[in-house]
Structure 1
Amino acid sequence: MQPVRPEFVPDASLTREEMESLQDEIAEAAVFEDDLGFDPEDVTVGRDSGQRSLVEADPPVIAGVDQAFLEDDRAVSAAVALRAGEVIDEATAVAETEIPYIPGLLSFREGNAVLAALEALSVSPDLTVVDGSGRIHFRQAGLATHVGVTLDHPTVGVAKNLLCGTPREPIPDRLPEGARIPIEANGDVTAPDGTVIGYAYQSRQYERGSTSINPLYVSSGHRISAEAAVAVVERTCDGYKLPEPTRLADALADEAKSEFR
């Protein structure tokens, strides 16, 4: 995949004010509604026959991207593409992380590595799941949105922690598996207050005991609604907390670190 909007390719030489201004432009260009070439119900990891949709068309190709880091301030990004749970392509890339981690500006640190890994794939995914926020972001332009708008490609953001926004109801210490709680915009987000910008989604939970698994924070990246984004994530989790595409990408990124040292 090549950038369709090259003016949005992350540029770490910008000032913080310029980065934030660019994110406002990205959010304005983003589509937080469904504009997909497939039905989310057709997504499956394929290992459970009960999850398979009885459709004539091939299941959509879902990619996942995740990053690992080298000691010399480089990011290793891995992309894994799956169809019905089968890995059909994978690629890795490395890029300099020219700025430190700054909350809200992750895409300017890691975005170029992500774009390079996706460009290296030999297949064009129907959707990409990104390890990072999408619309759940101060300016509605997290890593998943930044990548999605730059490529004009459907993306979903899956984060392990809530960057901003307010859960519609308190999230209990032990959210039951399959539960989802809307995350609404508040004064920290540029969307109107009360706008649903994503969901806390409990992909997996222990059946018993005092230990609990924290929920994922799922949001639209580009060309998908918050509701469809959660549906895709739900259908790509395969008994693990993380969606299978990003879980495999995480493992591949760790393996690839030795190649780039």
Structure 2
Amino acid sequence: METLQRDIADVAVFEDDFEFDPSTLGDPLAAASSGADPLTVVGVDQSFLTNEAGDQDRALSAVVAMRGGEVVERVHAVTSLEIPYIPGLLSFREGRPILEALETLSVEPDLALFDGSGRIHFRQAGIATHMGVVRDVPSIGIAKSLLCGEPQGSTEHLEVGTRVPIEATERVDAPAGTLLGYAVQTRQYESPDRYINPLYVSPGHRVGPETAADAALALASSYKLPEPVRRADSYATEAKREFLEGEEP
């Protein structure tokens, strides 16, 4: 599996390679005034189902498609988990339900945001990279914690809009100092007594690190998470509840 991840990283494109104008992300008026079609951005998140023994045996992958700031489609898929949780190999555990959910979408994503890492990964192939390459869709990883790499500055008490470079270390299959992504501060408390941690944003496929950080900031409205990912997180919980209710005798 690690060899396959390295192969995926080799074909991944960690720079801008798309046909849309990223400056219109999160700004429907800008898209309308430019005459361009509103972008379709999808958020992807997952929840898990347990068996009678209390073990996680199925994953529910939720996908929410947004266009012009509005939800246009929600889909999900439930599949069995065949691989245990192993740090760094998340895509092999959760990739199949994600791909099945994406297959049921009737809209074509311009950009996909995943709750997980992209290039900020030991082998530069987190779930956003893996799924982005398989689907050949521009993709971004939005992680709540740092899997690997070294921040080039403090990540505490940051002001909104701040981005701190995350560079490769010896634990990453990339030359030391390679820019993997950014710690991005999308929201912050006004009180000096508490603070919100940044998100760790990295290119998945066909998106560069600067655009990935720009997109995370542009798509985060009143919450820390970019809106498509936040909506996917909420829908994953809702779909899981409805699925479990349907299983009840």
- Report the TM-score range of the alignment, normalised by the length of the smaller protein: over 0.9
Distance 1:52 1:112, change over 3 A: same
The CA distance in 1 between the partners of 2:71 and 2:195, in whole Å, is: 30
SS of the equivalent of 2:34 reads coil
Cα shift readout 1:213-256 (whole Å, capped 9, x = no counterpart): 11000000000101001111111101100000010001111011
In the other structure, the counterpart of 1:248 is: 231
Counterpart of 2:180?
Answer: 197
For 2:32 and 2:142, how far apart are their aligned partners in 1? 24
Question: Which of 119, 133, 148 is equivalent to 2:103?
Answer: 119
How far the C-alpha of 1:45 sits from its partner, in A, is 5.6
Identity within the alignment, % = 56
Say if 1:160 and 1:216, in contact at 8 Å, map to a contact too.
yes
- Matched with 1:27 is 9
* Aligned twin of 1:14: none
- Residues 31 and 37 in structure 2, CA contact (< 8 A), matched pair in contact too: no
* Residue 70 in structure 1 maps to residue 49 in structure 2: yes
2:33 aligns with one of 45, 54, 70: 54
Query: Does structure 2 conserve the Cα–Cα contact (< 8 Å) formed by 1:45 and 1:244?
Result: no
1:183-226 CA distance string (max 9 Å, x none): 00010111111010000000000011411111000000000101
Aligned match of 2:63:
79
Question: Which amino acid counterpart does residue 90 of structure 1 have in structure 2?
Answer: R
Deviation at 1:94, TM superposition (A): 0.8
Evaluate the alpha carbon distance shift between residue 45 and residue 112 of structure 1 in structure 2; reply closer, same or farther with a 3 A threshold: farther
Instruction: Give the alignment's TM-score, normalised by structure 1.
Output: 0.88
- Paired with 1:158 and 1:106, the residues of 2 have a C-alpha distance of 14
The residue number in structure 1 matching 2:114 is: 130
| Two-structure CA RMSD over aligned residues (Å) | 1.3
Instruction: Note if contact 1:152-1:222 (Cα within 8 Å) is conserved in structure 2.
Output: yes
Matches of 1:174 and 1:193 in 2, distance apart? 27
Q: Equivalent residues in 2 for 1:102-117 (5 A)?
A: 102-117=86-101
Q: Quote the Cα distance in structure 2 between the aligned partners of 1:184 and 1:156.
A: 17
Q: Map of 1:164-175 to 2, 5 A cutoff?
A: 164-171=148-155, 173-175=156-158
Superimposed CA distance per residue, residues 28-51 of structure 1 (whole angstroms, 9 cap, x where no aligned partner):
0100011111011011165xx6x7
The answer as to whether partners of 2:150 and 2:167 remain within 8 angstroms in 1 is yes
Give me the TM-score of the superposition, normalised by structure 2: 0.93
Instruction: Write out per-residue CA displacement over residues 86-140 of structure 1, whole angstroms, 9 at most, x where no aligned residue.
Output: 1111101011122222110010111111111111111001010000000000000
SS of the counterpart of 2:72? Answer: strand
Task: Give the unaligned 5+ runs of structure 1.
Answer: 1-18
> Is 1:44 matched up with 2:26?
yes
Give the ranges of 4+ consecutive aligned residues of structure 1 lying more than 6 Å apart after TM superposition: none
Q: Quickly say closer, same or farther: Cα 1:158–1:99, change in 2 above 3 A.
A: same
CA distance in 2, matches of 1:69, 1:52: 37
Q: Distance in 2 between matches of 1:53 and 1:161?
A: 35
Q: Sort the Cα spacing of 1:195 and 1:223 in 2 relative to 1 into closer, same or farther, 3 A.
A: same
Q: Which runs of 5+ in 2 are unaligned?
A: 52-56, 245-249
1:208 aligns with 2:187: no
